[in-house]
Amino acid sequence: MNDDKGYRSALVTGASRGIGAAVARRLLAGGLTVYGVARSAEALAGVAAELGERFIPCPADVRDTDAILAGLGGAEIDVLVNNAGGLASVRPLVEQTAEETAETIALNLTAPLQLMRRLLPGMVARRRGHVFNLTSTAGRSVLPGTTAYAAAKAGLSQACHVLRYDLAGAGVRITELAPARVETDFYLSAFAGDREALRQKLYTTQRALSPEDIAQTIWAALSLPPHADLSEIVITSTDQAAGGQMFAARDGS
């Protein structure tokens, strides 16, 4: 980066598409070397072909912290973007399988905690680091059918609050970034049914944020002076008021 913070490298999870790919692109444009994690080596190779040799693919499941660390080969990480996440399904908790519930918590809560546990000591030792945790407005308001996902995101949000106390004075920043709807394949892959109709409804009839909006937000937080920690960001499209209420009819239907 062209300032005194000295950030040179970033690890972005979920870098093969959607928000993560846009964030990787923005960080590279800002001069950082980016290590990109996703399960699909092929998709990461596609991103590398577009972004060039300062994008280093690290194919791994984000739940396998050892595999990610092995992929880094000892590289120091200044900026960690815990972005990989997902909805196994959208339905009431009692209708989810045990595997869906466990996977949702492992992906959205346990994996970012484990990565921070491994990477924060280096940042603290160097007195240089910035962690972004992608949560969601689903963790702050009510989106029916997302019990485990919402609980994981709310848990990650609370982890950020506690970490800021643990890290006070260490020179390491923790930013929680909670987007509302962003136009990616995220929801489409979790819903059963007519994908095109849903895409039309979510992203054409209504206006969502773009992945580039999120990348720009991360860059803005990163660009602040090193002592300024933009700790919580909620971002929505001007067409969306996240956190509405829903009432069942009196007869329960």
Ligand X SMILES: NC(=O)c1ccc[n+]([C@@H]2O[C@H](COP(=O)([O-])OP(=O)(O)OC[C@H]3O[C@@H](n4cnc5c(N)ncnc54)[C@H](OP(=O)(O)O)[C@@H]3O)[C@@H](O)[C@H]2O)c1
Question: In 10 A of CB 197, how many CB atoms?
Answer: 9
| Minimum distance from residue 6 beta carbon to ligand X (Å) | 27
Q: Is 248 exposed, middle or buried (0-12, 13-18, 19+ CB in 10 A)?
A: exposed
Instruction: Identify which of residues 12 and 123 has a Cβ nearer to ligand X in the complex.
Output: 12
Instruction: Identify which of residues 120 and 156 has a Cβ nearer to ligand X in the complex.
Output: 156
Residues of the shown chain interacting with ligand X in the complex, contacts defined by CB under 6 A? 13-20, 37-40, 43, 61-63, 83-86, 107, 134, 136, 179, 181-182, 184-186
CA distance 49 to 55: 9
Say which of 7, 35, 149, 187 is annotated catalytic.
149
Q: 25 to each of 28, 66, 204, 212, how far by Cα in Å? A: 5, 25, 25, 9
- Closest listed residue to residue 78, CA positions, set 3, 32, 129, 124: 129
Instruction: Identify which of residues 128 and 178 has a Cβ nearer to ligand X in the complex.
Output: 178
Give 133's strand partners.
Answer: 82, 176
| Minimum distance from residue 52 beta carbon to ligand X (Å) | 19
Asked about 187 being catalytic, the answer comes back as: no
| Minimum distance from residue 71 beta carbon to ligand X (Å) | 11
Catalytic residues: 149
